[in-house]
Chain A
Amino acid sequence: MSRWILGFVCSLWAYAQTAPIAFVGARLVPVEGAEIADGTLVVEGGRIVAIGPTSAVTAPRGARRVDAKGKVIMPGLVDSHSHIGGPEGADASAALQPDVRILDALDVRDTRIQKAQAGGITTVNVMPGSGHVLSGQTLYLKLRDGRVIDDLLIKLPDGRIAGGLKMANGTNPRRGGVFPGTRGKTMAMARDLYIKGQEYREKIRAANGDQSKMPARDLRLEAIVEVLDGKRTVHHHTHRHDDILSVLRLQKEFGFKLVLQHVTDGWMVADEIAKSGLPASVIVLDSPGGKEEARNMSFTNAGVLDKAGVLVGFHTDDGVTDSRLFLRSAALGVRGGMSREKALYAMTLANAKMLELDSRVGSLKAGKDADFIVLSGDPLSVYTKVLETWVDGVKVFDRTVEKDRRYAEGGEGSAERQSELHMHESEEVDQ
């Protein structure tokens, strides 16, 4: 194919993406701002360009008009803790491995990514497992249709790839051998690493830009310095009330950005969490137990934390819960006493804030990325279907397409890539 033809095809593609589309007559749940019973959403060039009551929004000239009457449109869901794509992180050689990046392991052809799109998830924090005190660097992804991992990455203004750092305490990393054998040891090992990180940062600062005075590169401590500098958020797996407080203690000592993950006993120490000002990403499970530290699981957790003033999000922890049923978490939160508005906020903007992506995703607002989902009915109803999922103004899931429908419902042809599935079960099931 000549360069000329290739160029032509590319420009056509770009045109398809940038032509404005107006979704007219939908019930809009913008998350930021009140619901609009009869609303219009206009997207163009991968961004939201207008949102409001149908009577007040004029679709731009040349816009493709989509009749969305009877449908509900809300922001694409943001999942602040998932394991889709087979995110192998740290291995069994050490308890703290901040140099390990799941960027180097993720399989974008894992069908669980399509299943997450089918569940309405458009942005996700994919993390390595919780069997380590520190299991590696996480990735914040946009669930675009991609051939290679680069297609899903989020580039930050400073050129770095968006992502956090996964840590854990409680029973999971408490394995003996090179791993800690007790809770006290877990926290001592974590503190020791952060102190080394502080010292490393001091050496870098002392060099004051003089390359000859710089310390030798240390991939492990470089990641810790990013954390200490507030450039990388720690996502800390923690369940039991005292473990949660240990994490808050660690955070206070070293002053890093932190999201509490799982937070099963959060309702017991809600005031302490609120006082810390730190957010909580909560998991909802169908029953208590299954592991000792999940014995106090309660549907009331999210509501109690929210009322105490904590920024609360939900997550799937996929494969612990299924990405296609993510909205169920919000609904069970409401069942447990959380307000409907806060529950939907917890699925979108709250998680976007925890990932520091709230300027781009998490609500329907002019200027933000055109990440949204079209639903057949109320977001919290068991009978509602995700009909379409859009990322950057591109439709990545369409229930009327047979292949996509199969991902949504399952059945023959919807299977995971088996090569990844069995070997790394411990990494995948993280809860």
Chain B
Amino acid sequence: MKRLMVLTAALAGAAFAENIAVRGDVVYTMAGAPVKNGVVLISNGKIERVTTGAAPSGYRVMAAKVVTPGLVDAHGTLGLTGYLNQNADQDQVERSAPMQPELRAIDAYNARERLIEWVRGFGTTTVHTGHSPDILVSGQTMIVKTRGRTAEEAAIVREAMVAATLGPGARESGNKAPGTRSKAIAMLRAEFVKAQEYRNKKEKTRDLRTETFARVLAGELPLLVTVHRANDIVSAIRVGKEFGIRMVLDGAAEAPLVMEEIKASGYAVVLHPTMYRSGGETANISFETAAKLKAAGIPFALQTGFEGYVPKVRVILFEAAVAAGHGLKFDDALASVTIDAARLLGVANRVGSLEAGKDADVAMYDGDPFEYTTHCTGVLIDGVEMSSQAR
């Protein structure tokens, strides 16, 4: 029976994933120089190779002016935050306790959410999504393709990182803890101390929360810390170094003020959306931070983040475009939403560039992808045509 199921699945896959040749006046493979008159050959959902000239026979030809890898959004809440923005479709944060790392994204991801189709129409094929900022430890994240009928079908990494927030976003109201920056850090440190003890215990009673912190401690899951103010960034790094954990700095509006400290930490940055609103802890936000991170040699990727109102979801193509309009070179801007994002997320073996053996995730455009007036004309995921409506 099991064998029969596998066979059926393979047949179904073959039926959908046809042989496709995507031709582009320019193909940005993100693995070497752009290829003029390039052809991306695809079979069985994977990229065979990138070549030039005419497509061989037996391939359905799709043509575009510009071809890029499917875009990778390095952090959002897609699928957990529905477009209606009503209580019933918002599952990004659970307020019953300030630290709940055991909450899994896969248990909340709505694969049929309308905004998935929306962002896919602009070239997004992979999203790092999950529990949101705005509470000390909100839960886990996952990495999905923007296809699939179920969370299982969409997921490529079911448990990616543990999402935390430091600074004013972590504060609880009233007399609930944490009520200050210091308290938040003290609570987080206490959990890691507990996880160290748990790790050293011979006989373990299962405890989902401590287990998850122990996985962070073991370097299995990075801690994704949303943090904006310079002093909060430094605090995050302090905690990370104390426990020797893997950490990714998220948001980081005031990164330009502590560039040396970030660089010395070795932590990568998932930068706030370029068009993120200024105010409060993001008062000093700048359109140019992506360019500055690049110049400083700090690994980073762009994200769409979490939005509590309108627009309910941002589009990673647009955030990269505005970064490109504010000092980030075209190739670097494209990398920040393709190969650099894939590397940062640890999925560069599958997505982020057009190279032999990788998933056939491809985006097509009728001009410079970053120009506002250009359209995304086609999207493939795993070699399956997802969208051909110019958008």
Contact = CB atoms under 8 A, between A and B. Distances in A.
B175 interface: no
B95 interface: no
Contact of A285 (B280, B284, B310, B372): B310
A291 B279 contact: no
Interface in B242-271: 254, 256-257
B87 to A, nearest CB: 12
A8 interface: no
Q: Is the interface of A mostly helix, strand, loop or mixed?
A: loop
Contacts of A416: 278-279, 283
B275 interface: yes
Contact of B373 (A285, A289, A380): A380
Contacts of B84: 289, 292, 295
Interface string A370-396: 000000000011111000000000000
Interface in B302-357: 307, 309-315, 318, 321-322, 324-326
Interface string B106-128: 00000000110011000000000
A331 B275 CA distance: 16
Contact of A415 (B118, B283, B372, B373): B283
B235 to A, nearest CB: 19
Interface residues of B, number: 44
Contact of B310 (A328, A332, A410, A431): A431
A173 to B, nearest CB: 17
A290 B89 CA distance: 11
A412 B82 contact: no
A289 B85 contact: yes
A275 interface: no
A269 interface: no
A164 to B, nearest CB: 23
A286 B373 contact: no
A287 B372 contact: no
A291 B310 contact: yes
Given A290-B309, A411-B288, 20 more contacts: A286-B275, A286-B313, A286-B318, A287-B313, A289-B84, A290-B312, A319-B277, A319-B279, A331-B372, A380-B372, A382-B322, A382-B370, A382-B371, A382-B372, A410-B284, A410-B285, A415-B283, A416-B283, A429-B309, A431-B309
A322 B311 contact: no
Closest CB pairs A-B (n = 10)? A289-B83, A290-B310, A331-B372, A410-B286, A415-B283, A290-B312, A286-B311, A411-B286, A287-B311, A382-B325
B375 interface: yes
B325 A383 contact: yes
B86 interface: yes
Given A287-B311, A320-B310, A335 B373 contact: yes
